[in-house]
Structure 1
Amino acid sequence: MRKDIKVRKVTAIEDIYSVQKLEKRIWGMEPIPVHQTITAVKNGGLIVGAFLENRLIGYSYSFAGYSKGEVYLCSHMLAVDEEFQMMGIGKLLKEEQLRLAREMGYRLIVWTFDPLESRNAYLNTAKLYGVCYDYIVNCYGSMDDGLNKGLPTDRFQVAWWIDSPRVLEKWQPDLTYSRPFQIHLSEDSHPVVLLLETNDWLEAEAIEVPVPKQIQLLKKENPQLAYEWRMETRNIFQQLCNEGFALVDVCRTEEPVQYYRFCKRSIIPLQNERSLSNEN
């Protein structure tokens, strides 16, 4: 990590305009109007920016949420300039978001991510100690930007209980993980998951589920196979969530897949936890 990169809260209008410009460049679609983000920041929301001198190179944007008597922070967007990716800036933005959110009185932060983006899953669970127990089918409908085009926008929702032992003590379960799903390679050397005929695998106390290591490359080179991964993992993840499992970790390998680790949600030390769905 470069020491000249600074992470701080964003409130100045000129910096918020910089966020809008970076958003448009990264996502390739019309950005959120500045009048909306300014209003959100003034009413319980939060923007955190990563700066190299005066240049904005990354940001997170969140706004206040409320459901079933629970107030929480809805972290809607995190992005890092392509030139500065893979440098740990995303983790720095989330850590500062956590610190500021705690000062504001929040105890829960939620956001979504594409279940097939294993790098995001690793950050959210293995680095930040969030958990995922809500799977949302086609959350945002059809999207035509570079990252989302071509697949239904299914999402895992991350619940980040920032004052829980899971986060404060960096808790991970000490369990033996079952790996019931087998992988073989397609003719173009992409991974293919072999589905199981029965649901006996749901009886394990902890389960590993494979996902492609490079979903964007797979979408480009074999879009039909990418779609099959979406539909097959949708079925698996929905069954896991319905049976009380939660995603807590990612096992990284040298294989063409990574393995998502699930354990029973009931054993995870989460304080004042309430189930939230479809919030962002």
Structure 2
Amino acid sequence: MMTKEEIKIRSLSSTAELEDVRRLESKIWGESDSIPTHQTITAVKNGGLVLGAYSGDELIGFQYSFPGFNGQSVYLCSHVLGTDELFRNKGIGEKLKLAQRDEALKLGYSLITWTYDPLESVNGYLNIGKLGGMVSTYLPNCYGEMEDFLNSGLPSDRFLVEWRIGGEKPADTFGNAFDQDFVLANSLVQWNVNDKGWPVVLPFRNEELHNHAVQFVPVPKNYRSIRETDIELASDWRMRTRHAFSGLFAQGWQVSGFKKISSPEIPVNFYILTKQ
């Protein structure tokens, strides 16, 4: 049986290695959305980074980044991270991100940015809870209507993560200071559970904040399953959380933590928002 310790991460630069990355990306998302090898090899030669995760000699995960510039400072744009379906939920994504941080520091970067779907709890737990990324920007339908294996059928809303890698991880990104009952009682958004066991989000108004020190916004624990079985409910979660996060960010709140709810009868996890 494979263990986490058997996974090796290394930087990739040769044409053959980067073509392997393109093939794995095609396997995960579809041939039409894979990044051409001539683009990744050019990025690697000009301040970018491609990392590969290997089980023995087999490439089973990768991460691709390129330099970004906002008119004032240079940072690393983390564009794609993927893992072969047979090797998911084994901590490979976290290993790739930590290796990315180490390599980015060697290249002189102090900030890494990337986008992800805020309704994907697994990614929220990694990006915010484990890594300590911060979010204060919501991007509605960031990539337009996507037709790949994992994103078709819904607007491609995204969080823009800022991961400052030069210092210590922010304190309490897992929300340990807040017990479950407090979080549930102060949730900005409420829900019911339907006959399938899925959470059904209820209407709310951003003006009705429960307190002024911290905000809690729920997201389904299993959004991908909801999307595959009830596209109307998935769309409802997309639009109501879009309204919640966009409104809070406009008021100066930022996502600074992610709290997993261990109780199986509670079908949501929570983003923690604090004032910048």
TM-score by length of 2: 0.90
RMSD: 1.7
DSSP 3-state at the match of 2:81: strand
* Contact 2:52/2:61 (<8 A) preserved: yes
Q: Distance in 1 between matches of 2:167 and 2:4?
A: 30
The sequence identity of aligned pairs, in percent, is 41
Residues 44/225 of structure 1: CA separation in 2 closer, same or farther (3 Å cut): same
1:185 to 184, 193, 196: 193
Please list, as runs of the form range in 1=range in 2, the aligned pairs for 1:96-245 lying within 5 A after superposition.
96-165=99-168, 167=169, 170=171, 172=173, 178-197=186-205, 199-201=207-209, 203-245=211-253
Paired position in structure 1 for 2:19: 17
Q: Are residues 1:247 and 2:255 paired? A: yes
The 1:4/1:175 distance shift into structure 2, 3 A limit, reads closer
CA separation of 1:170/1:16 partners in 2, compared to 1, >3 Å: closer, same or farther?
Answer: farther
The answer to whether the Cα contact below 8 Å between 1:193 and 1:210 also exists between their aligned partners in 2 is no
TM-fit CA distance, 1:261? 1.1
Partner Cα distance (2:22, 2:7) in 1: 20
User: Which letter does structure 1 place at the counterpart of 2:258?
Assistant: V
Deviation at 1:197, TM superposition (A): 4.4
SS in 1 for 2:5: coil
Does the aligned pair in 2 maintain the 1:175–1:206 contact within 8 Å? no
Unaligned runs of 5+ in 2: none
Matching residue of 2:271: 260
Change (3 A) 1:170 1:55: farther
One-letter identity of the residue aligned with 1:180: L
Cross-structure match for 1:61: 64
Greater Cα offset, 177-186 or 101-110: 177-186
Answer whether contact 1:131 1:246 (CA < 8 A) is retained. Answer: yes
| Whole-angstrom CA distance in 2 between matches of 1:238 and 1:170 | 24
Counterpart in 1 of 2:81?
78
AA matched with 2:269: Q
- Check 1:246–1:223 CA distance in 2 against 1; reply closer, same or farther (3 A cut): same
Q: Which amino acid aligns with 1:3?
A: E
Q: State the number of aligned residues.
A: 263
Identify which range, 21-30 or 231-240, moves more after superposition.
21-30
Q: Relative to 1, partners in 2 of residues 1:51 and 1:198: Cα closer, same or farther, differing over 3 Å?
A: closer
